[in-house]
Amino acid sequence: MFTFVFYFSPTGSALANEMNKDDAKARQIEQLLENTPEKKLAHRLQKLQQKLAKDLPASRSQRKQAQSWFERMLEKLGMGGSPLTDDDLAEVSALVSQVREAYAEAVVNLEQEGPAFSQSTVLPEPAKALAKERHANAVKLVKEKFANIDSKLNRLTSSQEAEEQGQLLTELAEAMKDEQFKRTHTAVDPKHLPWGSPSEDVREPKMSKGEIQLVLGINPFEQYTQLASSTLTAEMLNPLGQPSEADLAETIDAVQTDEIKALAESLNNNPVEIYTWVHNNIRFIPSYGSIQGAQYTLETGKGNAVDTASLLIALLRAAGIPARYAYGTVAVPADKVMNWVGGVTVPAAAQSLLGQGGIPNTALISGGTVKSIRLEHVWVEAWVDFEPSRGVKNREGDRWIPMDASFKQYELSEGMKLADNVPFDAEALASQIEQSATI
């Protein structure tokens, strides 16, 4: 009767409620840790590893310490009991069943990923073949490793011999110790903490075609990227260098999604309208390299020079207009760069922002003053109908024309000074409160 009354007391009810909350929270955490077949398998293997490598050896050590001298003598003579109790075996068997269930789901999911490489419209054929081969090798390795562990687990749960169980525990712990089933902790160097301003120290821009090819890893005998001038030259206006199929193809960075195709169509598939839209709607971010790709740049409305070029190329190619990346070193007046990177007031601040984003740059000084800033930059070249309408009426392309949609100038205005524009009389407010207050 006393126990009955205690359980339904406010304290007991509160304790029961807290326990239920803890159970519910534990189940939610479990669901988050197992929300994909791969995560489920990794999580359950991790629990099994914990059981075999830590929990069972610890409980076995405790039992040994509690043994009588007679039990220890029998064990030395090989007549001792099993190192695993019935409860131990039951827990291991339950974990093994959970692992096998998760493995069956994960391996099916892994095998189904293989055909996706062959069906990809983005990867070239050599890349497809390589990806397919690596995927097949990965599936084979996963199956071999699991078969080895599963065989030992099967013997462990069915064995009744103390010596065999001990040997299998050692082998399983050894087999699983090097497997990573969760993300490891990343050591933090106090001198290089994961926050703060990034370093603005970058290399100087490369000044020759050969140097740029070396930095970008471009084979000079293959036409991957056009290294070009930022101005219209006689070479550009020469009808040589016809576009190829690659100049209309999708790439990982310039995928022609439904949204991109629809936008190109809404802009009449016209190169001038497409360029103008990207130039006027995508805000520049001073960073280096391909980070977002075309679709994400479209979604966010901002991107660096490469991301902006990727979006422009994707739109042009979706409109049937050949387009390619151009990479080179340019010199821009310092005041233009200061406006471009966000409206800073000194050239050093502009260089700092460029450097923090990883853009190679250097100041060009004349008469003790920074007149311009030299930097490596990316833009686009499009094969358009340049003569006579300069692309306004695009019937059949005849020239590679540079298009830089990332470089622009902004109209910036200072923020409103509230103290000047919204006058506030503190004494009048205090007087009004005193007069209207009821005490």
* Angstrom distance (rounded) from CA 315 to CA 272: 12
**pLDDT digit string (tens) for 83-135?**
677 777 788 888 888 888 888 888 888 888 777 767 766 667 777 788 888 88
Q: Report the amino acid identity of residue 272.
A: V
What is the pLDDT confidence band of residue 12, given thresholds at 50, 70 and 90?
very low
What is the pLDDT confidence band of residue 303, given thresholds at 50, 70 and 90?
very high
Mean confidence (pLDDT) of the chain: 78
Choose between 148 and 311: higher pLDDT.
311
**pLDDT digit string (tens) for 135-166?**
888 888 888 888 888 888 888 888 777 777 77
* Angstrom distance (rounded) from CA 139 to CA 13: 51
Buried b (16+ CB within 10 A) or exposed e, 182-209: eeeeeeeeeeeeeeeeeeeebeebbeee
Q: How many CB atoms lie within 10 A of CB 137?
A: 10
**pLDDT digit string (tens) for 166-223?**
787 788 877 776 665 555 555 555 666 555 666 778 889 988 888 888 877 776 555 5
Once rounded to an integer, what is the mean pLDDT over residues 373-377?
95
**pLDDT recorded at residue 385:** 83
Mean pLDDT is lowest, of 21-30, 136-145, 209-218, 274-283, for 21-30
Choose between 187 and 43: higher pLDDT.
43
Would you say residue 368 has pLDDT above 50? yes
**pLDDT recorded at residue 238:** 44
Helix H or strand E encompassing 364: strand 361-366
Structure tokens at 171: 């082998």
**pLDDT recorded at residue 314:** 96
Once rounded to an integer, what is the mean pLDDT over residues 413-428?
70
**pLDDT recorded at residue 69:** 59
Mean pLDDT is lowest, of 328-337, 365-374, 408-417, 422-431, for 422-431
Share of the chain above pLDDT 90, in %: 32
**pLDDT recorded at residue 365:** 93
**pLDDT recorded at residue 215:** 79
Would you say residue 377 has pLDDT above 90? yes
User: DSSP letter string over 60-95?
Assistant: HHHHHHT--HHHHHHHHTT----SS-HHHHHHHHHH
Choose between 282 and 398: higher pLDDT.
282
Angle between helices 293-300 and 258-266 in degrees, nearest 10: 60
At CA 347, angle to CA 209 and CA 334, rounded to 5? Answer: 55
**pLDDT recorded at residue 234:** 46
**pLDDT recorded at residue 154:** 82
What is the pLDDT confidence band of residue 8, given thresholds at 50, 70 and 90?
very low
Q: Which stretches of 178-270 are DSSP H helices? A: 209-216, 234-237, 258-266
* Angstrom distance (rounded) from CA 95 to CA 41: 11
In 3D, which of 274, 277, 271 has the Cα closest to residue 386? 271
To which residue do tokens 């090798």 refer?
Answer: 137
In 3D, which of 264, 293, 262 has the Cα closest to residue 278? 264
Would you say residue 376 has pLDDT above 80? yes
In 3D, which of 378, 275, 271 has the Cα closest to residue 320? 271
**pTM reported for the whole predicted model:** 0.51
CA distances from 164 to 48, 49, 57, 150 (A): 19, 19, 15, 16
Structure tokens at 102: 């998760």
**pLDDT digit string (tens) for 210-240?**
888 887 777 655 554 455 444 444 444 444 4
Decide the pairing of beta strands 302-303 and 283-284: parallel
3-state secondary structure of 303: strand
Choose between 59 and 351: higher pLDDT.
351
Omega before 388 within 30 of 0, i.e. cis: yes
Share of the chain above pLDDT 70, in %: 71
